[in-house]
Structure 1
Amino acid sequence: MKWVEEFRDPAAIRAASAAIAEAITQPWTIMEVCGGQTHAIVRWSLHELLPPELELVHGPGCPVCVTPGEVLDAARDLAVEGGVILATYADMLRVPGQRRTGDLLAARAAGADVRAVASPLDALRLAQAHPEREVVMLAVGFETTAPASAAAIEAAARGGVANFSVLASHVRVAPAMAMILAGEDNRVQGFLAAGHVCAVVGTEDYPPLVERYGAPIVVTGFEPLDLLAGVLRCVRALEAGRPRLEVQYRRAVRPEGNPVARAALERVFEVVDAPWRGLGEVPQGGLAIRPEFAAHDALRRFELRPDERGVAAEGGQGSCRAADVLRGRLKPLACPEFGRGCTPERPLGAPMVSSEGACAAYYRHRARHA
């Protein structure tokens, strides 16, 4: 594809790298928020093209990684004890819960009816095909996946599919960025924001963060040249002392986002404080199903009360430091369990499980960073 070749052109990448080196005069720390960005950076070794004064740290932008273990425990209880058909994304099957009683894959091996689906609409079709069974969709993700959950909930309500509900753990990116910037131990001075999130919800959440914290934010795509161009813009803003919001990913992002998707989110969800694995409770950091759709809200339908105690410190098992990885405090290679006690086959923390997790990215491309 021609456009892909354009954004992976070696000459253009070298030119962008040289421009960054020319622009920087002092140390800066920039966080890329999204796990997809992290995987691209590690896959293409983009961090090795940057000057030593510039550090890229990885953020909590992996939806599987930040889903609280308590939510996974509740989902497992529904599947094992509640006898429901539990549908979810494949990445969720191997994420450990808080109680360490086994993941959803182990529950399925023990006889629970747990199924991997590509979207909540697939789960809705399961409910229509099995009217005698309760079907629950464990739906996670940022604003990018929440519209699909909203569509399934509205379709179930319109069609009278009474045996379908959603256990929603959808979260909002901008409040987590604000929480990181407000932290006493924060080192992040600028952000590369996730282009696909902004393609859905727009960019209106970001100017207040720039103004309040003085941190430039550049919305980028996921190809090598996208990311380096975003880094260059961020460095120039930092060097000039003029923090601002910029959109590098203009081919996909409009300031207003996607009006259809935003309208669906507003009809079905309301903004709430929400726990994130590794971060704790993030003010305004989640999306909860509105009371009007209570019949399709698994939390209400099954009277679930996930125990949120300890979520702030929750990371991985043993000496796994997944929580520090999620906060950008630690690179995966510095974790004592990385590649030893913790591997994709035997993960101790969620960042090693997900296809967007930072630890999984380093493990997959570990030969380049040995």
Structure 2
Amino acid sequence: MFRFRDKTLAEKILAGIRKLNLGSLRIMHVCGTHQDTLVRFGLDSLLKEAGVEIRQGPGCPVCVTTDREYLEAAVLAGKGKTVATFGDASKVPCMNGRSLLDLRAEGYDVRVVYSVDDALKLTVEKKLETVFLAIGFETTAPSTASTLLPEPPENFTVLTCHRYIPPAVKAILKMGEVRLQGLIEPGHVSTIIGVKPYVEISESFRIPQVVAGFEPLDLLMAVYMIARQVAEGRAEVENEYRRTVR
């Protein structure tokens, strides 16, 4: 792990970005873990000094779940169902400003779980009519599917609110409100879907994309790869995270 945090190599990559002499570069990522790495290791300020601005995209599962979907979960709780979901999702205002946690304080049966397996276990052991509010992108959808494939008990249902990353990225680019020169795509999502789903985006919008891992050098290298594409007039999908993504 520590080799992906090597300070000397990081300085060399930053020097390579500056050497391309692109002036300013605006790139968007779509992953909360990428944002955490950028801030925690001070990469955002280092990249700004190199003329690169990193924007946050739609990488938060809680944020991209609609008000209507949260409201549906609240209505089901009001009908006597046990609603199970993740902690962050339970705090979102959904019914006249009240969150699922607020509804629990009023007597509704809302449970915070760490996984869909916890929700299923709750259903079996407590014999409850349980609805699991399933949120997230390609990384969490497989775990939901794996629970449903073996035919779970009839008193267990899923309110699925999963999302795909590529359509979300396309929607932002179609708006045309933000000028972007590149996209950093999430490594964990790409481990599941590969790199092909991103090709159409680069071809349609003429924008470079790089699939990146989550260590500091992963992100710096992804930025360099995008900058190099811009300098060479290319708009392709490249894979920095080859140790995991195929």
- What is the TM-score when the length of structure 2 is the normalising length? 0.95
Aligned match of 1:61 in 55, 59, 62? 59
Shift of 1:52: 5.2
1:110 lines up with 2:106 in the alignment = yes
Query: 2:174 is matched by which residue type in structure 1?
Result: A
Aligned match of 2:166 in 163, 174, 196? 174
For residues 7 and 96 of structure 1, what CA distance do their matches in structure 2 show?
A: 39
Query: 1:231 is matched by which residue type in structure 2?
Result: V
1:24–1:235 CA contact under 8 A, matched in 2: no
Aligned match of 2:178 in 186, 201, 211? 186
1:8 lines up with 2:5 in the alignment = yes
Aligned equivalent of 1:120: 116
Aligned match of 1:235 in 227, 232, 245? 227
For residues 205 and 86 of structure 1, what CA distance do their matches in structure 2 show?
A: 33
Shift of 1:117: 1.3
Query: 1:58 is matched by which residue type in structure 2?
Result: Q
| Partner SS for 2:159 | strand
Shift of 1:53: 2.8
| Partner SS for 2:17 | helix
| Partner SS for 1:251 | coil
Aligned length, in residue pairs = 245
Greater helix proportion:
2
| Partner SS for 2:166 | helix
- What is the TM-score when the length of structure 1 is the normalising length? 0.64
For residues 61 and 245 of structure 2, what CA distance do their matches in structure 1 show?
A: 20
Aligned equivalent of 1:94: 91
Aligned equivalent of 1:136: 131
Shift of 1:196: 0.4
Aligned match of 1:154 in 144, 149, 157? 149
Change (3 A) 1:68 1:14: same
Deviations 1:309-341, CA, capped at 9 Å, x for gaps: xxxxxxxxxxxxxxxxxxxxxxxxxxxxxxxxx
Runs ≥4 residues deviating over 4 A: none
Aligned equivalent of 1:76: 74
**Alignment of structure 1 residues 151-300 onto 2, 5 Å:** 151-155=146-150, 157=151, 159=152, 161-254=153-246
For residues 47 and 178 of structure 1, what CA distance do their matches in structure 2 show?
A: 24
For residues 96 and 12 of structure 1, what CA distance do their matches in structure 2 show?
A: 45
Shift of 1:224: 0.6
For residues 11 and 108 of structure 2, what CA distance do their matches in structure 1 show?
A: 52
2:138–2:164 CA contact under 8 A, matched in 1: yes
Shift of 1:104: 1.2
Aligned equivalent of 1:40: 37
| Percent of matched pairs sharing the same residue | 40
Shift of 1:130: 2.7
| Partner SS for 1:250 | coil
For residues 128 and 151 of structure 1, what CA distance do their matches in structure 2 show?
A: 17
For residues 161 and 176 of structure 2, what CA distance do their matches in structure 1 show?
A: 27
Shift of 1:241: 0.5
Deviations 1:26-72, CA, capped at 9 Å, x for gaps: 32211011111111111112011123532111101111111101111
Deviations 1:62-114, CA, capped at 9 Å, x for gaps: 111111011111111222x11111111112121222x4431111111222221
For residues 201 and 184 of structure 1, what CA distance do their matches in structure 2 show?
A: 26
1:30–1:55 CA contact under 8 A, matched in 2: yes
Unaligned ranges ≥5, structure 2:
none
